[in-house]
Homo-oligomer: A and B are copies of this chain.
Amino acid sequence: MARNKHPERTRARILDVAKRLFLTKGYDGTTMQDIVDSLGDLSKGAVYYHFKSKEAILDAIGEEDQSRHDPTAINDTGLTGLDKLREAFRRSAADNEHMRLMNMAYPAMHDPKLLAANLKVWRTQVADMFEAMIREGVADGSIDTAYPREAAELLALLTNYWLVPTFYPATADELHHRVEALAAVCTGLGVPILDKDLIETVSRGYTALI
């Protein structure tokens, strides 16, 4: 195999091509050979050199997608903590590609080990991230809550687990109603993130997962 002078560029190309195939043919409908064929100029061995399996490619696509949706990256000057949180939810739910990628990863979570690992991330890193944004809102006066940590933990758990029809099966109407219930939960905690507009956007986003 010729020495690869730009491994990062090759890696990025593989992820790009695989993501396009996953989104058009579905994850299950795409083989490693399809990915090799679509790349055109790389051997199967070269692709396997970068990713040991199709699952590893999906994982890497998921990580890239996650970092693109890191809400702490929302830095528009002038936004309050509450508005940043709302913007984070809006961007994530309105990004059709993001929701379809999430959808692709969710069936894997029927594997108890993966589910347990994700639950751990939701109750630690993701909760920490939400807490930082809520505390920003408390500091700038846009959020008035006695429960910054609790609200953060619940936001992380409920948006990643409870809203997801893979775990809690639901019709589109039931999902809409569930998002309205989450809005009431947030209001009860003094962190009224989900206004009327956002309820619609978030409902539509999760409905794509049915």
Q: Is A187 an interface residue (CB 8 A)?
A: yes
A interface residues, how many (CB within 8 angstroms): 31
- As a 0/1 sequence over residues 177 to 210 of chain A, the CB contacts with chain B under 8 angstroms (1 = contact) are 1101100111111100000000000000000000
Q: Is the interface of A mostly helix, strand, loop or mixed?
A: helix
Shortest CB distance A129–B (Å): 16
- What are 18 pairs between A and B in contact, CB < 8 Å? A112-B112, A112-B113, A115-B115, A115-B116, A147-B177, A147-B184, A149-B174, A150-B177, A150-B178, A153-B168, A157-B162, A181-B189, A184-B188, A185-B185, A185-B188, A185-B189, A188-B188, A188-B189
Q: Is A100 an interface residue (CB 8 A)?
A: no
Q: Is A57 an interface residue (CB 8 A)?
A: no
Binding site for B on A (CB under 8 A): 112-113, 115-117, 119, 123, 146-147, 149-151, 153-154, 157-158, 162, 167-168, 174, 177-178, 180-181, 184-190
